[in-house]
Amino acid sequence: MPEVRVSHLFKKFGNVNVLNDIDFTINEGEFFTLLGPSGCGKSTTLNCIAGLEQPTAGSIAVGGTPFVDTERGIYVPTEERNLGMVFQSYALWPQMTVSKNLAMPLSIRRASRGDKAERIHDALDKVGLSHLKDRYPHELSGGQQQRVALARALVYSPSVLLLDEPLSNLDAKLREQARAWLKRLQEDLGITTVYVTHDQDEALSLSDRIAVMFEGHMAQIGTPKEIYERPATAHVAAFVGSCN
Ligand code: ADP
Ligand code: MG
């Protein structure tokens, strides 16, 4: 059974069709990327998985549990989905230390104090920032802040990690480094990851499989090699080819 199954997803904003019959499955432990130009519907798809947007039609299941099914009238609220999320603007709480930033989602989930300390330590260890636990966000670099945001998303052991352009606020050099540790982290953790980017290079270097979207449609799903060597449409060829 796939870890994430998105079936016949449609989304309208007003009378604009933003998602048209989006369909894909993601295997357990897979790094799966939604790639496409700005405005093609990547974030809307991710937000439907996250429970931040409600699809107009379709269904989404994670680990066999239906989160949304418009036909069966199922809608699980976002706080009950146990997903880790990191967005482009990673918004740490500026008045809290790194540790306190990680404690917050645990408090919301009513973790015990001992459990909390251990989870915070483990999550910071995973992103290699245990030594910065007492710092405030403004005392960290952009790359470090982004890693804290990632640790915060991992702290309650989510079943799936949702990352929406998490590196796009970093400058080119930091982005390169961040890409390398993100790849390593995913290999270490083996956590199922849905990654959103408009950056072809990023998608090709990080992903197990890539889903290329255009104007609310799914154009092609395949491994980086398949997408790069055998683009299914002229759109895909032009878009993916433009990274060289
Ligand atoms: P991407 O993440 O690929 O850049 P989005 O999923 O953010 O694209 O947006 C897809 C389309 O939906 C865009 O045309 C965008 O303007 C539109 N859209 C996104 N969110 C909303 C909203 N809340 N209300 C109206 N239109 C929206
Ligand atoms: Mg987006």
Please report the DSSP string for 43-102 in residue order: HHHHHHHHTSS--SEEEEEETTEEEEETTTTEE--GGGS-EEEE-SS----TTS-HHHHH
| Nearest one of 33, 9, 34, 13 to 23, comparing CA atoms | 9
Q: Is the CB of 148 under 6 A from ligand 1?
A: no
Q: pLDDT tier at 186 (50, 70, 90 boundaries)?
A: confident
Query: What is the residue type of 118?
Result: E
pLDDT at 22 exceeding the cut of 90: yes
**Mean pLDDT rounded to a whole number for the chain:** 92
pLDDT of residue 1: 64
- Average pLDDT of the segment spanning 34-55: 96
pLDDT at 243 exceeding the cut of 70: no
- Average pLDDT of the segment spanning 42-52: 96
Ligand 1, pocket-test mutation among 9, 10, 13, 52, most atoms within 8 A of CB: 13
pLDDT of residue 31: 96
pTM reported for the whole predicted model: 0.93
pLDDT of residue 187: 86
What is the number of the ligand 1 atom nearest to the C-alpha of 37? 3
| Nearest one of 1, 44, 4 to 160, comparing CA atoms | 4
Residue-wise pLDDT tens digits, 69-127: 999 999 999 989 999 999 877 689 999 999 999 999 888 777 788 889 999 999 999 98
- Average pLDDT of the segment spanning 126-132: 93
Residue-wise pLDDT tens digits, 165-179: 988 888 888 888 888
